[in-house]
Structure 1
């Protein structure tokens, strides 16, 4: 499935804020998400390590919580002047939740590649 273009690093921070109740500044101050690989020093593709808190929250979230987070994230994006459909946001989070569940069962980490 294809989703519209959005900032992956910013999305990870916003999702963590919504799931955990931490502020944007708190998440950034904690150096989340972690940078796993950044060959161009922020000027090109990079790999981000999803925080354990966000990965655990995604893995534990049921569909009602994913719908709620999708709605809140879409509203946050609208407040920034972007249009992001709540249904697409929920689909994206649901897919990540399934992935996080599978990784948790195998004691693996979730990463995000950005271009």
Structure 2
């Protein structure tokens, strides 16, 4: 999520880490269970305002970055994930609800 935050909002990765973005809202610790992260309002707004072609472009960039680190992602799935998040962000709009990411 922090990589998407950096790409979509233009903020430096290190700067985001320094201010604890994304916020950890649940963490059992000791790698014993899922971690839940809250997307920042800046990321939610960026996703909500992003056109589909930009989502595709960002997904390709993200896949390339992950590939450089030795991870392999299907491009179709890599586009589907942020597209789905963008749809959720648009549905939320300016309501107080937020986006969360559960990582196992």
How many residues in Structure 1 have an aligned counterpart in Structure 2?
Answer: 103
CA distance in 1, matches of 2:96, 2:55: 22
1:38-53 superposed matches below 5 A: 38=27, 40-41=28-29, 43=31, 44-53=33-42
Moved over 4 A (4+): none
Q: For 2:19, which of 19, 30, 33 is the aligned residue?
A: 30
In structure 1, the partner of 2:46 is 57
CA RMSD of aligned residues (A): 1.4
Task: Determine whether 1:88 maps to 2:77.
Answer: yes
**Runs of at least 5 residues in structure 2 that lack an aligned partner in the other structure:** none
Deviation string 1:15-70 (CA, Å, 9 cap, x unpaired) is 011112222111111101101122x2252212111111111111111101101110
1:105 Cα offset (Å): 5.0
Per mean C-alpha deviation after superposition, the further-off stretch among 53-62 and 97-106 is 97-106
Calculate the TM-score normalised by the size of structure 1: 0.82
Task: Determine whether 1:68 maps to 2:95.
Answer: no
**Runs of at least 5 residues in structure 1 that lack an aligned partner in the other structure:** 1-11
CA distance in 2, matches of 1:105, 1:32: 19
CA distance in 2, matches of 1:85, 1:61: 21
